[in-house]
Amino acid sequence: DLGIIPGSMGTGSYIVRGRGNPAAYCSASHGAGRRMSRAQAKRTYGVEDLRRQTEGVECRKDAGVVDEIPGAYKDITRVMSQQDDLVEVVAHLKQVVCVKG
């Protein structure tokens, strides 16, 4: 089956085809995954960091979304490389817009 594995506000996402690996219950990651909590991200990063990390992406760049900064998430490229036995990458999508409430 086809699926999508999202990155973060400033990274791409992946369209994948599941390999049906029974050792992993025919599943895969559902995203990059957080490296730090929302509270820690707010303590660690500021609005200028958010602007730098989301350069080239049309999105909110204010204190209300600093907890979603790309640096708060694991490296999606590494996450994808660690699940070659779970999914086949069909397409890599480039982030151009991100909508946060």
Answer yes or no: is 62 within a domain: yes
Domain count, the chain: 1
Answer yes or no: is 61 within a domain: yes
Answer yes or no: is 63 within a domain: yes
CB atoms within 10 A of CB 12: 16
pLDDT tens-digit map of 23-65: 999 999 999 999 999 999 999 999 999 999 999 999 999 999 9
Domain hosting 6: range is 2-93
Answer yes or no: is 98 within a domain: no
The DSSP bridge partners found for residue 18 are 87
Could you list the active site residues? 30
Average pLDDT over residues 74-101: 93
Residue 16 and residue 4 in contact, taking contact as beta carbons nearer than 8 Å: yes
Answer yes or no: is 101 within a domain: no
Fill in the DSSP letter of residue 22. G
